[in-house]
Amino acid sequence: MAVPKRRLSRANTHSRRSQWKANNQALQNTRIDGQEVAIPRRLVKAAKLGLVDLDR
């Protein structure tokens, strides 16, 4: 006989979801205006064009 799926309690659902963790962005060392900076790879082109404030 088929058994219906059981509903997870809210505590079990939240504790299961809490195990997910984001990874840190990999930083790339780049020389911009004679200054060595470590920024995410997706921002390198924008930083070289001067669109990103690197002083932050």
Structural domain boundaries in the chain: 26-55
- Please tell me whether residue 12 adopts helix, strand or coil conformation: helix
Look up residue 36 and give its amino acid.
E
pLDDT digits (tens, 9 = 90+) for 11-23: 887 887 777 788 8
pLDDT confidence of residue 26: 92
Model pLDDT for residues 29-45, shown as the tens digit of each residue: 999 888 899 999 999 99
Query: Does the pLDDT of residue 4 top 80, yes or no?
Result: no
User: In the block, which residue shows the tokens 């309690």?
Assistant: 9
Q: Strand, coil or helix: what is 11? A: helix
Residue 36: what pLDDT? 92
pLDDT top residue among 11 and 4: 11
Helix (H) or strand (E) holding 48: helix 44-48
Q: Which pair of tokens denotes residue 4?
A: 């219906």
